[in-house]
Structure 1
């Protein structure tokens, strides 16, 4: 971001507009919605500005803005619609340390005025840093349609309820009440309906802790399920794997406790017993715990061990499945995981397990047309290659390695079984990758001698 979005207090403080024409009128219409003390500096003004001055809504000074006027100003708008005059005002403001905006001059302004959805005291600011004002207006229109016109009155009434709501236990109980209240507000109910709702919540016993095992998918936030998004929004604690990327974690509430329990192949790892203990400890304290796992929680995620820990502790739990890496990788190749006449089964295997390199039914995997997704297979590639060739697999069998499946930095390595280990070593893939045995990218150009390509986005 080139501009940091903030809401600046202006109630009772001086804000100045230099200019008296159409540009000044447009800014004044917005400023008049605030409780700022508005001053206008212009020798000639639009009749509307003169009327606002006569009504006492603004203070009009029939002269140019001067250096002495800037003392104590909160903001200043340069709206003279003359490049030299606007530049003079901007220079005065910059020298005085007052934030300034030159109307219709993005590059020279110290701050921008966003598009606003006004349901005071709910105000939504929409900015594109000047790159897409038409898009900002479209987003504004969408929000205007969705938010009830009376939502501001609901919020003002809710403010009066806050002292009574303080009787609810802090944290989850209060959030549940306010969430229920605003769900009703979004449906058009009035604030007086909140009193019985609050009484009902005050009579409730504290909610017990709960654990949700949530699939984060292969890494693209757009591929999260709706249930996963809701879980992140409601969570008190998020305990996540190392492979869950930051854009997904940022979907959680700002107040949430986020704990990484990373496991790195052949590197530092959080012991499973420690992970189990954290889940149980936080849930027993009454928290809604989201155990966030890359891909699908039921695929090589030690889900059963963590469920057993929750069950032993008497905790309620649920599984929210996600898109596993095999599905995302196949999609990036433009291939299906099963195909009539090619393979009637699909194997999802791991290249290594707790005892080291994993053994499998290599004879079945070596058959023509076999398809398998091999997780955690980069370091085991030479072992897998050797076992398959030893059991009669064709060295020309297509193999694709998909790194960071579905993410912006996704890469696809198109190879053959006979050269898999060498191609992987040359490619030096650093991100999480899944090896797709028996599948080649549908784009035939991917099989050209240069094995590494950027996936089509």
Structure 2
């Protein structure tokens, strides 16, 4: 993020602009919606600027900006339409101690003006760091269509009621009240009785919420998928937006955590094989403790919660504590990895079954029914298999598996840094050791990357 978005207080402050034509007029159209005093310097102003000055909407000085003219302003815009002149004027403003924007010159500007959706007092600002103004305009157009025109009225009346709403305890109870107003009772009252009906609706709604018993806490076991935030379910996104507490695993990626409500308490309980560790007992106590205190807890697990996620232990803990719970499935790494190599997990005539196995468990390397895996066409996906690869290779070969059996290892499935390692059972090691994998990986026994998958531009396909 090269430009940090903020909203600047404008009331009682001055914005200075330099320019006399269409460029400065375009900036004035948006700035005139603010409470700032606008002062324009132009040696040869167009008639529209003079009209705005006569109407009292701006102050116009008919000369070129000079040192000291911008001093005391909150912002300065150089909008002459001449790149070199704008740079000269920007230097004057900076010498006066004012942040400057040179229109259509991102490199020399100290701030940028975003595209704005105006539902005063609700304002949505959209920026692309100057990279794609056309994209910002497209997003603005989409939001203009989605946000009702009466949203500003609801927010303006709601703002006058904020002190009264402070009777509700801070946190979820207060958020529930405002949610009911903006997405339920408020729009209904406005459509049926007009603006005058909003204040009585707020008063009735507040009394109803004050009389409500505190909402019980609960735990949602949510699958975060393999890492790509676009693979989250809509329900998972909704719960992250509403959560009071998010208890998350090590493999949940930053872009997914960023979707959580900003005020939510974020608790990292990551476990690393043979490394840092949060005990299951601690995790159980955290999720039930917060839920019993009334919090809406999201227990966020990478992949799908029901696949090697110790889900049963955590559900049992919730049941013993009398905590309500539910499960939101996610895309497991096996599905994401299969998509990356372009192979179905089951195929007619190849394998009628699929096994999801673990390379190691709490007792070390996990033993399996190796004989069943040596059948022709058998397919299995091994989780947590990086350290167990040599063990798996040895056991399968010992039980008669062909050394030519294809094996694919997908690291960081679905993520930008994804890698695909193509091997056979016979070459699996030392292939994996040479690959020096550092991210989470699944081993797909019996599946080779398809040619179409190898051609995808975002994949790193390695045959070591």
* Same fold (TM > 0.5): yes
Q: Which residue of 1 aligns with 2:179?
A: 179
Equivalent position SS for 2:442: strand
Equivalent position SS for 2:161: helix
Q: Which residue of 2 aligns with 1:159?
A: 159
Q: Which ranges in structure 1 are unaligned for 5 or more consecutive residues?
A: none
- Contact kept, 8 Å, 1:25 with 1:46, in 2: the verdict is no
Q: Structure 1 residues 222, 186: CA separation in 2 closer, same or farther (over 3 Å shift)?
A: farther
Q: Which residue of 2 aligns with 1:233?
A: 241
- Contact kept, 8 Å, 1:148 with 1:188, in 2: the verdict is no
Q: Which residue of 2 aligns with 1:244?
A: 252
1:308 to 316, 325, 330: 316
Residue 186 of structure 1 deviates from its aligned partner by 9.2
**Could you report, residue by residue, the CA deviation over 1:211-245 in whole angstroms, capped at 9, with x for unpaired residues?**
00000000000000001001100001100000001
**Could you report, residue by residue, the CA deviation over 1:106-143 in whole angstroms, capped at 9, with x for unpaired residues?**
22211111111111111111112222111111111100
Equivalent position SS for 2:382: strand
Query: Is 1:168 matched with 2:176?
Result: no
Equivalent position SS for 1:440: coil
Query: Is 1:325 matched with 2:355?
Result: no
Q: Which residue of 1 aligns with 2:194?
A: none
Q: Which residue of 2 aligns with 1:92?
A: 92
Q: Structure 1 residues 186, 80: CA separation in 2 closer, same or farther (over 3 Å shift)?
A: farther
Q: Structure 1 residues 203, 68: CA separation in 2 closer, same or farther (over 3 Å shift)?
A: same
Residue 188 of structure 1 deviates from its aligned partner by 7.0
Equivalent position SS for 2:220: strand
Mapping 1:377-416, distance limit 5 Å:
377-416=385-424
Q: Which residue of 1 aligns with 2:15?
A: 15
- Contact kept, 8 Å, 1:410 with 1:454, in 2: the verdict is no
- Output the aligned Cα RMSD: 1.8
- Contact kept, 8 Å, 2:83 with 2:105, in 1: the verdict is no
> For 1:174 and 1:261, how far apart are their aligned partners in 2?
29
Q: Which ranges in structure 2 are unaligned for 5 or more consecutive residues?
A: 191-197
- Contact kept, 8 Å, 1:347 with 1:371, in 2: the verdict is yes
- Contact kept, 8 Å, 1:414 with 1:446, in 2: the verdict is no
> For 1:376 and 1:330, how far apart are their aligned partners in 2?
16
- Contact kept, 8 Å, 1:114 with 1:125, in 2: the verdict is yes
Equivalent position SS for 2:422: strand
The alignment covers a number of residue pairs equal to 451
Residue 444 of structure 1 deviates from its aligned partner by 8.1
Q: Which residue of 1 aligns with 2:278?
A: 270
Q: Which residue of 2 aligns with 1:29?
A: 29
**Could you report, residue by residue, the CA deviation over 1:248-271 in whole angstroms, capped at 9, with x for unpaired residues?**
000001111111111111112111
**Could you report, residue by residue, the CA deviation over 1:57-97 in whole angstroms, capped at 9, with x for unpaired residues?**
21111222221222211111111223343222111111122
> For 1:77 and 1:138, how far apart are their aligned partners in 2?
24
Query: Is 1:197 matched with 2:200?
Result: no
Q: Structure 1 residues 385, 254: CA separation in 2 closer, same or farther (over 3 Å shift)?
A: same
> For 1:125 and 1:228, how far apart are their aligned partners in 2?
26
Mapping 1:335-354, distance limit 5 Å:
335-354=343-362
- Contact kept, 8 Å, 2:224 with 2:330, in 1: the verdict is yes
> For 1:104 and 1:422, how far apart are their aligned partners in 2?
55
Q: Structure 1 residues 258, 442: CA separation in 2 closer, same or farther (over 3 Å shift)?
A: same
Residue 55 of structure 1 deviates from its aligned partner by 1.7
Larger deviation: 160-169 or 286-295?
A: 160-169
> For 1:189 and 1:344, how far apart are their aligned partners in 2?
58
> For 1:265 and 1:311, how far apart are their aligned partners in 2?
28
**Could you report, residue by residue, the CA deviation over 1:350-403 in whole angstroms, capped at 9, with x for unpaired residues?**
011111111111110111111111001111111111111111111100010000
Query: Is 1:124 matched with 2:124?
Result: yes
* TM-score under structure 2 length normalisation: 0.94
Residue 445 of structure 1 deviates from its aligned partner by 9.4
